[in-house]
Amino acid sequence: MRSSPRSPRAPQPCIIWHRHSPRGPADYDLPVTSAPDDLSTPDAPAGPIVIIGAGPAGLTAAYQLGKAGRTATILEGDKVVGGISRTVERDGWRFDIGGHRFFTKVEEVEALWHEILPDEDFLLRPRKSRIFYDGKYFDYPLKAFNALKNLGPIEAVKCVVSYAAARVRPPKDQTNYEGWLVARFGWRLYRTFFKTYTEKVWGVPVSSMPADWAAQRIKNLSLSSAIINAILPNRNQKEIASLIEEFQYPKFGPGMMWEKCQELVEGQGSKVVMQTKVVAIAHEGGRATAVIAEHDGARTTYPADEVISSMPFSQLLMAMDPPVPANVAKAASDLSFRDFLTIALVVPETDSFDDNWIYIHSPDVEVGRIQNFRSWSPFMVKPGQTCLGLEYFVFEGDRLWNSDDADLIELGKKELGILGLADPSLIETGYVVRMPKAYPHYDETYQANVDILRDWLAHNAPNVYPVGRNGMHKYNNQDHSMFTAMLTVENIVDHAGHDIWEVNVEEEYHEEKDGVRPGVATGTGGTRGTGRDAPIIPSTAPSTRSA
Ligand SMILES: Cc1cc2nc3c(=O)[nH]c(=O)nc-3n(C[C@H](O)[C@H](O)[C@H](O)COP(=O)(O)OP(=O)(O)OC[C@H]3O[C@@H](n4cnc5c(N)ncnc54)[C@H](O)[C@@H]3O)c2cc1C
């Protein structure tokens, strides 16, 4: 690694963070892989930096480099910036790829949001989301009285009987998520509140999902404890509620943040090159030397001393030239994703609702969640109407993914009609957006595969720095993407020595220890998790949908 002319970073001042995380510690063990040796020559001139991707990670990296007096070339394959955190604009309607809440426990990320956008561009929005099932809205998180009232006395009694039966004769196999849930809630509640939605999101039967991720995360969860918690709010619950009941949101959506960041980055002297897809990374003598990208069928070579990459980790490795060995290529191709499509429908304001989104548990429709963008920001919609974003969790190439937009819009209208949420004949227009690789998939081998890719990179191109969500194959939010980018820039310009793979923006910080910053772990191994929860889906699990 070539160094910047700046001196190595002094020990970081302590930053104290006392908030309690609404979650416990995250659930993945960390690989014990040592960080690559620092190959820098302290006073070498700063060479060109190429950043792959103009999403939150890529643009944050560019912006932080700019503040440190360095410029970069950012190569973005798409027509718009923001990546998955973009805001789509069609005919004056603005909508997200799923609504994007701005909420973080990392002070530096919070500060950066407000450095990029002035305070007046942020709205503080109340969070409301409910579960829609059998024509009724259930509070989310579930509240016992509301749930019982909605279920009605007969169904409520059946649920209690089903719960009692499961207590007396619990499922023999509780190693899978279905057995684990049924043992704690009974079959009827499991079917109402867990099965359908979980299967819509992950695309595999709940019975094929291992229980251990849930068992580690949701210790002592049972119907009785859920009811007690619902009836008797305690101090901890109040704290949790205050963390999740409101969130910040840029008034024109998250894309506004990234469009502004692009402007700032260009003002600093960096170049954002759009519709330019990285197709190869040349490496030689144990370092990356250039990034090759395609625009309108023409290839350009961008010489690079450092490469910050937010493109999918697997694709990064597959783009190496000369190619990676067969075992590394296999590990890369075994990393998989869940994909996403949204059907945005313009409906009369009378069909609006207060929720930011509702979870659709009804098994008779395929839609998984419905966003109401009027509830996110009145600046996103037009008077008298709203825009509902129907979210479908899909696999690239499956039946829904390959359907025509016109057919998908008809499907969306039909499903809103079935749910009784809107009259299909009054839906004026609709738009479809497909987002490939929206969710890095975790299967039983993903961690080992990621380790293989990391190891190859550490030995063959240590000046390539993976950052962000798909960039590191981590199922995390914008704040994680941004923080990994911020720390990577510190590594490049200041030789800060952060282990980016240890960044955990979900971590609970009770006290500051020995200069450890919130979100940054110091070790190179151990049992601390580094991310949000996601189940491990066995690669052999059958799909719940036909292709
Ligand atoms: C449905 C949904 C809801 C979400 N809700 C929230 C939320 O409420 N709050 C929150 O903070 N986060 C949320 N997230 C997560 C958030 O979207 C991501 O964490 C964030 O966008 C990741 O940023 P990134 O820069 O790492 O990656 P991305 O957003 O994926 O950006 C990567 C960029 O790289 C570009 N790229 C890829 N390959 C190449 C290539 N070969 N050449 C050139 N460019 C390339 C892509 O086009 C893209 O622009 C949500 C995600 C989803 C799917």
Assign residue 486 the CATH number of its domain.
Answer: 3.50.50.60
How remote is the CA of residue 476 from the centroid of ligand 1, in Å?
Answer: 9
State the total domains in the chain: 3
Asked if 229 and 143 count as a contact pair (C-beta separation under 8 A), the reply is no
Angle (CA) 387-194-538 rounded to 5° is: 100
Asked if 247 and 101 count as a contact pair (C-beta separation under 8 A), the reply is yes
How remote is the CA of residue 493 from the centroid of ligand 1, in Å?
Answer: 25
Whole-number Å distance between alpha carbons of 331 and 521: 26
Tokens of 424: 């299909």
Number of Cβ atoms within 10 Å of the Cβ of 284: 12
Look at ligand 1, atom 15, and give the residue with the nearest C-alpha: 477
Indicate whether 317 and 463 sit together in one domain: yes
Instruction: Out of 236, 267, 287, pick the residue that ends a domain.
Output: 236
How remote is the CA of residue 55 from the centroid of ligand 1, in Å?
Answer: 6
The domain that holds 420 is classified in CATH as 3.90.660.20
Q: Which of 310, 433, 486, 530 to mutate to test the pocket of ligand 1 (most atoms within 8 A of CB)?
A: 310
362, part of any domain? yes
Instruction: Out of 236, 267, 300, pick the residue that ends a domain.
Output: 236
What's residue 50's pLDDT? 98
What atom of ligand 1 comes closest to residue 319's alpha carbon?
41
Whole-number Å distance between alpha carbons of 347 and 421: 10
Number of Cβ atoms within 10 Å of the Cβ of 155: 15
- The secondary element (H helix, E strand) that includes residue 158 is helix 144-168
107, part of any domain? yes
Query: What is the SS3 assignment for 49?
Result: strand
Per-10-residue mean pLDDT, the chain, length 547 = 34 27 27 33 70 98 98 98 97 95 93 97 93 89 82 90 93 92 91 90 90 64 56 48 74 97 98 98 98 97 98 98 98 95 96 92 95 96 95 96 98 96 94 96 91 98 98 94 97 94 68 43 38 74 66
Q: Which of 271, 292, 269, 272 is nearest to 281 (CA)?
A: 292
Tokens of 55: 């999403």
Indicate whether 447 and 418 sit together in one domain: no
Alpha-helical (H) ranges within 387-469 are 399-402, 405-419, 446-460
531, part of any domain? no
What's residue 258's pLDDT? 98
Peptide bond into 31 cis (omega under 30): no
Indicate whether 344 and 393 sit together in one domain: yes
356, part of any domain? yes
How remote is the CA of residue 437 from the centroid of ligand 1, in Å?
Answer: 9
Phi, psi angle pair for 383, to nearest 5°: -60, 140
Tokens of 142: 């579930």
- The secondary element (H helix, E strand) that includes residue 373 is helix 373-376
What's residue 141's pLDDT? 77
Kindly state the DSSP code that residue 523 receives in the 8-state scheme.
S
Does the pTM surpass 0.85? The reply is yes
How remote is the CA of residue 356 from the centroid of ligand 1, in Å?
Answer: 20
Asked if 64 and 496 count as a contact pair (C-beta separation under 8 A), the reply is no
Instruction: Out of 390, 406, 440, pick the residue that ends a domain.
Output: 440
What atom of ligand 1 comes closest to residue 75's alpha carbon?
43
What's residue 519's pLDDT? 53
Tokens of 156: 């409520």
Tokens of 61: 């990296």
Q: Which of 74, 79, 84, 248 to mutate to test the pocket of ligand 1 (most atoms within 8 A of CB)?
A: 84
520, part of any domain? no
Tokens of 539: 């690669």
What atom of ligand 1 comes closest to residue 484's alpha carbon?
26
Whole-number Å distance between alpha carbons of 181 and 198: 12
Indicate whether 230 and 373 sit together in one domain: no
What residues are in contact with ligand 1 under a 6 Å CB criterion?
52-58, 75-78, 83-85, 97-98, 100-101, 277-278, 310-311, 340, 438, 468-471, 476-479, 481
- The secondary element (H helix, E strand) that includes residue 146 is helix 144-168
What's residue 507's pLDDT? 61
How remote is the CA of residue 83 from the centroid of ligand 1, in Å?
Answer: 4
Whole-number Å distance between alpha carbons of 300 and 310: 19
Q: Which of 372, 365, 293, 311 is nearest to 73 (CA)?
A: 293
Kindly state the DSSP code that residue 193 receives in the 8-state scheme.
I
Indicate whether 349 and 399 sit together in one domain: yes
Indicate whether 358 and 426 sit together in one domain: yes
Q: Dihedral of the CA atoms 495, 497, 503, 509 (nearest 10)?
A: -110
Phi, psi angle pair for 61, to nearest 5°: -60, -45
Peptide bond into 141 cis (omega under 30): yes
Q: Which of 79, 96, 100 to mutate to test the pocket of ligand 1 (most atoms within 8 A of CB)?
A: 100
- β partners of residue 49: 306
Tokens of 53: 């991707």
Whole-number Å distance between alpha carbons of 45 and 26: 41
What's residue 531's pLDDT? 55
Whole-number Å distance between alpha carbons of 472 and 53: 13
Indicate whether 296 and 343 sit together in one domain: no
Indicate whether 67 and 114 sit together in one domain: yes
Indicate whether 276 and 405 sit together in one domain: no
199, part of any domain? yes
End-to-end CA distance of the chain: 46
What's residue 26's pLDDT? 28
Whole-number Å distance between alpha carbons of 349 and 363: 26
What's residue 388's pLDDT? 97
Indicate whether 328 and 452 sit together in one domain: yes
509, part of any domain? no
What's residue 81's pLDDT? 98
Which residue segment(s) compose the domain that 365 sits in? Answer: 337-440
Query: What is the SS3 assignment for 369?
Result: strand
Phi, psi angle pair for 38, to nearest 5°: -80, 115
Indicate whether 341 and 436 sit together in one domain: yes
Angle (CA) 276-462-270 rounded to 5° is: 40
Whole-number Å distance between alpha carbons of 445 and 309: 23
What atom of ligand 1 comes closest to residue 100's alpha carbon?
8
One DSSP character per residue, 290-351 reads EEEEEETTEEEEEE-SEEEE-S-HHHHHHTEESPPPHHHHHHHHH--EEEEEEEEEEEEGGG
521, part of any domain? no
Whole-number Å distance between alpha carbons of 132 and 375: 17
Indicate whether 331 and 450 sit together in one domain: yes
Residues in the chain: 547
